[in-house]
Structure 1
Amino acid sequence: MVSESQLAIKAVVLLIPFILIVLRLVVVLPSVKLRKSIGNDNFIAPNVHGSTIMIMLGSGGHTGEMIRLLSKVKLENFNRIWVSSSGDSSSLIKAKEYEENLKTNQLSSIYLTLYRARKVGESIPSSIISTIKSFISTFNSLIQLKELPSLVLLNGPGTCVPLAYILFILKFFGLAKTKIVYIESLARVNKLSLSGKLLLPISDRFIVQWEKLALKYERAEFYGILV
């Protein structure tokens, strides 16, 4: 017969991995930390000149909003990774136009196209398959990069969800240090988008553009309309 002490030892051995996972989540999961008072809308740290910033673009107005948000950032001080979804050629064109208008092009810029997570009006079974393909496509694209970004800027296209979660998982395992910054779309006045709800727990900074949302969601930062 197995003694009580042996059972206790087995239970502890089984619990140790679970405890370690929970402790690691406490360390890396932003949602378990108190929101800090930032005091301004400078969502880029001032001491990261020459680091890499990833910018997620998206159809349906997301790219237009992101381009306007970037007016607050001295993008020429960063290596840039522009990301768009498959089938979204217009966003890539706008990214390249933005690059041409930069004052200097000393640092690098590259373009990634990820499999689109979900199309508008797509059925639930089909969207599940698309999302899985998007996770695979995103993972394969990220591991081929020479360097993972120091920061990723997101504002709501569906493909940003696999991107953010893969970066968070890599951060969980100590393979990345990417800060995830999510800026909710201006169109979201009373409630978050689905992307926003999914990314609220894992975003290092979560910025909304309407005070109603800031009052409703504890971790949300509000600085007025940014676009």
Structure 2
Amino acid sequence: MNYETKLCLKVALLLFPLFVAIIRLIAVLPAVGSFSEQPLFSKNAKSLSDVPLSVKGANIMILLGSGGHTGEMLRILSNVDMSNFSRTWVVSSGDTTSLEKGKAFEEANLLSSHYKASYASLPRARSVGESIILSIKSTLLSFYETIRTLRALPQLPSVLLLNGPGTSVPLAYILFGMKYFGLCKTSIIYIESLARVDSLSVSGLLLLPISDRFIVQWEDLYLKYHRAEYYGMLI
């Protein structure tokens, strides 16, 4: 075997794992297979309440993002029947207000459910007004603590429901990474805030490629981003 042939074989062996990794990414990345245009008001389109869970008792994880994000999420969930699924409510560390609102929602709407709710707290990926340098440290800490929290759960979520803010990014990407390696089958649903009229939030932009369903509440955003779903205002 001559030198050129040996070199080609070595290069092929080195590139093969990269090729396999790219093929796997294409297979699990929702953005890749979503190029067909969707009618604006299609009667056949799935509604938000069609949460893709097929087995009773599966887990839905809901991130309450504090402040207006929490209020929006709870108003949206008031139209969704979650009684047949276990729930994991996630809040940012120190956000006792959102935690209490999540518990109050459970007491008001899901006391008759046979499936229990659990609660988890995650460090913020970036605090308001925090510098870029400090945010790198806090983001890494958020990734680490998120992995620890997920490992401690008795059941990984079948659906992750998000509407921002920054804490949603580490949580979503970790679960997407686990799905990449075949460790879970979590569907990621992101609902952009009603406050975003003309452009997506930073969290929305980061999660657009990996979200299985990406829902906006303004027609202009639907027309601007081809993967977006639009059903009008949801709150």
The alignment's TM-score, normalised by the length of structure 2, stands at 0.93
Shift of 1:60: 2.8
Q: Distance in 2 between matches of 1:146 and 1:103?
A: 21
Specify the SS of the correspondent of 2:100.
helix
- Are 1:151 and 1:181, in contact at CA under 8 Å, matched by a contact in 2? yes
Cα deviations by residue, 1:169-194 (Å, 9 ceiling, x for unpaired):
00000001000000000000000000
Change (3 A) 1:48 1:186: farther
The alignment's TM-score, normalised by the length of structure 1, stands at 0.96
Per the alignment, residue 113 of structure 1 pairs with: 121
Change (3 A) 1:66 1:25: same
Q: Distance in 2 between matches of 1:82 and 1:163?
A: 13
- Are 1:57 and 1:84, in contact at CA under 8 Å, matched by a contact in 2? yes
Specify the SS of the correspondent of 2:124.
coil
Say yes or no: does 1:83 pair with 2:82. no
Runs (4+) of structure 1 exceeding 3 A deviation are 35-38
Code of the aligned partner of 2:58: S
Say yes or no: does 1:72 pair with 2:79. yes
Change (3 A) 1:26 1:61: same
Shift of 1:103: 4.6
Per the alignment, residue 158 of structure 2 pairs with: 150
- Are 1:40 and 1:223, in contact at CA under 8 Å, matched by a contact in 2? no
RMSD of aligned C-alpha atoms?
1.5
Q: What pairs with 1:9-24 in structure 2 (closer than 5 Å)?
A: 9-24=9-24
Cα deviations by residue, 1:86-118 (Å, 9 ceiling, x for unpaired):
111100000110111125131011000001111
Q: Distance in 1 between matches of 2:74 and 2:162?
A: 12
Give ranges in structure 2 of 5+ residues lacking alignment: 39-43
Say yes or no: does 1:162 pair with 2:170. yes
Code of the aligned partner of 2:28: V
Aligned length: 227
